[in-house]
Structure 1
Amino acid sequence: MKHTLLILGATVIPLAVPMAWAEPPTEEAQLPDRQTQLPSSPKLEDQHYLSPRPLNTIPQGAFGDKVRLGYQLFVNSQQLRDKYVGNELNCVNCHMDAGRKPNASPFWGAFFAYPAYRKKNDKVNSFEERIQGCFTYSMNGKAPPSGSPELVALSAYAYWLGMGGLMDQYGVTGEVPELADAELLQGGKRDDFPVPAAISAALTTEQRANLPGRGYPAIPKPELPYDPARGALVYEAHCQNCHGSDGQGQAMGGVYNLPPLWGPQSFNWGAGMHRVNTAAFFIHENMPLGKSIQLSNQQAWDVAAFITSKERPQDPRFEGNLEQTKASYHKHDGYYGTTQDGTQLGKDAFPNLPPKP
């Protein structure tokens, strides 16, 4: 089953008149903003990426059953629709190849990066809390309760991908060691986390938390300020054949094989992908599906601006005051609370966790 967030091509689009460029806020000014972006850093030459074990090597038994369930939930999150999922997306739409692909925010990289402090909720987050946030924001849904079978399964899948890849990389034979549910839910960024001796001798806890390919590779800001109007031309030329001129994706038999990019069935205003820079990094590296780096930096930023300047479901942290929500959580490259085409985005945002139409 193939899933993607955006299908793009490589034709150069004529540049239009640029819009005003907003300088990024200083770190001090960003402190009230809990919307921490996904990790990103420029790609380096000759980087060696972790290679997870084939899915058909998931072991039999209770632990393997958890891993398999986690995989199934990851690639078909819609089985949780109207319970924890409130849109037409699956985890794999943003984390390519079932969370296995480097430079596509792979699931194996995330596991070893938590527990970690996040400004988004101003606390140290466990791995299960990070996944809960994905359900709340990216899936426009509801966080599964702590310790739930779904969170255990997803954590087991992430751990199995990462640990199996590290074991193969450092010559450790055998099955991935089984862990208790409580260990899985915490994540792997702990000095007391059980790691085979060959791996702990080669990598520190911090190095395991920053494995090459962990996030979306950062690309430089474009020469001209990013512009939704130019991005509309990029979208029309390279994206709408798959995601539709209205950005609502394509479904067959009620199942979306190409997801909505905005509107009531897409990610909400609290999701990391609504940030222009995060969307640009993802698009540049991972689109079109199965290829990489088909667009110029300028095109990636422009089409990301176009997509993220469209109305979508409300930020779940909204408490009735749009300007307060914008000031508290949106001091970054984004369009929440701004006026586009005569409409203030977020004012008439779509609901959170709506029932499937």
Structure 2
Amino acid sequence: MYLVPASAKLDRVNHVPRDPSMSSFDDAIERSSVVKGFNIVRSTREHAPELAGNAFSCGNCHLNVGQRAHSLPLVGVASRYPQFCDRENRQVGLADQVIDCAQRHLNARVDDRESQSVTDVVAYITWLSKDIPSRYLRREDPPIDPSAFVPVSELNPARGADLYAKKCSQCHGADGQGVDLAIAHPGPLWGPESWSDGGDAARIYVLASFIRRSMPLLNPGAMTDEEAQQIAAYINAQERPRYAAKQHDYRGSTIPVDAVYYKQTRARITRASTRQ
């Protein structure tokens, strides 16, 4: 088994099919780097404070240290880079992606793709992509089919708030800052310690797809497509850190309709809401 199943509940939140500290390596230097990368993904602020400008860790989104199905798994990811990034309007390598993710979601200031912490995370992701069946090299199908997307202008943050209180607050708290669960501590969903307004998680459909398959950890996959989108709309209606370089995004492409923190998108949503 290379991935923890998406149906696994809270009691398996720390389980990993492949632990590099328990694995054999031909090269001691590679082993050291991979183990460090594993620890950084699991607890970023503790092991690489330069990559963590907030209370988030990579593992808050890449559940089970990137080894859980339908929770942004890192298994097989290395084989997909380099690739063209529409948002950046350029070709990016794996190290570029690690830095970009840290800047947008962990509010990190690091921009050195040769830094040891970035090198270690890349080493871990690369190790996860070695000697695995080819089916793990493909992207997973999206948890929510685009045909089921509710138009952003029709989503209701008030309904999302009600659903959040019923289905999410037990672990994430009424204030969205996370509850200490002893075996896990969910990261803040909004506020100064959460991801920035330029992150992938700041897009409603992206966040909803994660919620749909991965949450709540007490019963993953129990929500409907519509419920996940309403909750995502509520979460992404909150204040969060500003990504300073956001004005440079999507220079060569159209801003996605669910990227609600971009002023052009907000203007379109406002006009649509006014017409209703």
Shorter-chain-normalised TM-score: which range? 0.7 to 0.9
1:232 aligns with 2:199: no
Q: Does 1:249 find its partner at 2:178?
A: yes
Give the C-alpha shift of residue 58 in structure 1.
4.6
Cα shift at 1:242:
1.6
**Equivalent in 280, 286, 289 of residue 208 of structure 2:** 280
- Give the stretch that moved more between structures: 106-115 or 81-90: 81-90
SS at match of 2:105: coil
Tell me if 1:293 matches 2:221.
yes
- What TM-score, normalized to structure 2? 0.78
Q: Report if the CA contact (8 A) 2:172-2:186 is conserved.
A: yes
Corresponding residue to 1:75 among 38, 42, 46: 42
> Is the contact between residue 84 and residue 142 of structure 1 (CA under 8 Å) also seen in structure 2?
yes
How far off is 1:102 after superposition? 2.0
Are residues 326 and 130 of structure 1, via their aligned partners in 2, closer, same or farther at CA, if it must alter by over 3 Å? closer
Aligned to 1:335: 260
Q: Give the equivalent residue in structure 1 for 2:119.
A: 152
> Which digits, 9 at most, give the CA deviation of each residue in 1:188-207, with x for residues without a partner?
xxxxxxxxxxxxxxx6xxx8
Query: How many residues align structurally?
Result: 244
Taking the aligned partners of 1:316 and 1:109, their CA distance within structure 2 comes to 31
Task: For 1:97 and 1:325, locate their aligned partners in 2 and report how far apart those are by CA, in whole Å.
Answer: 30
Tell me, yes or no, if the aligned pair for 2:76 and 2:128 is still in contact at 8 Å. Answer: no
The alpha-carbon deviation at position 62 of structure 1 amounts to 1.2
User: Cα deviations across residues 211-269 of structure 1 (Å, max 9, x unaligned)?
Assistant: 253x753332249932211101100111112211111123599xx81211000000001
Residue 180 of structure 1: aligned partner: none
Cα pair distance change 1:334/1:291, threshold 3 Å:
same
Aligned equivalents of 1:294 and 1:234: distance in 2? 12
Which structure exhibits the higher relative contact order, with contacts defined as CA atoms closer than 8 Å and separated by 6 or more residues?
Answer: 1
- Larger Cα Rg: Structure 1 or Structure 2? 1
Q: 2:32 aligns with which of 41, 46, 65?
A: 65
Q: Does the residue aligned with 1:130 lie in a helix, a strand or coil?
A: helix
Match of 1:110 in 2: 77
Specify the code of the residue in structure 2 equivalent to 1:104: S
1:259 equivalent to 2:202? Answer no
Checking the alignment, whether the CA contact within 8 Å between 2:88 and 2:249 is kept in structure 1 is no
Aligned partner of 1:271 among 199, 204, 208: 199
Q: Secondary structure at the match of 2:205?
A: helix
Amino acid in structure 2 at the alignment position of 1:259:
G
Tell whether the 8 Å contact from 1:58 to 1:68 is kept in structure 2 after alignment: no
- The runs of 5 or more residues in structure 1 that have no matched partner are 1-7, 9-50, 170-202, 340-357
| Partners of 1:52 and 1:161 within 8 A in 2 | no
1:67-126: CA deviations, max 9, x gaps? 100000000101267523111000011111110112212112321111001012111101
Higher helix share: 2
Unaligned runs of 5+ in 2: 1-8, 10-15, 268-276
d(CA) in 2 for partners of 1:155, 1:334: 27
Q: CA deviation at 1:145?
A: 1.0
The two structures, once aligned, show a CA RMSD in angstroms of 3.1
Q: 1:329 to 1:241 in 2, by over 3 A?
A: farther
Distance in 2 between residues matched to 1:129 and 1:333, nearest whole Å: 24
Q: Deviations over 1:314-352 (max 9, x none)?
A: 022157xxxx9899985421332449xxxxxxxxxxxxx
- The percentage of aligned residue pairs carrying the same residue is 25
What's the CA shift for 1:283? 0.2
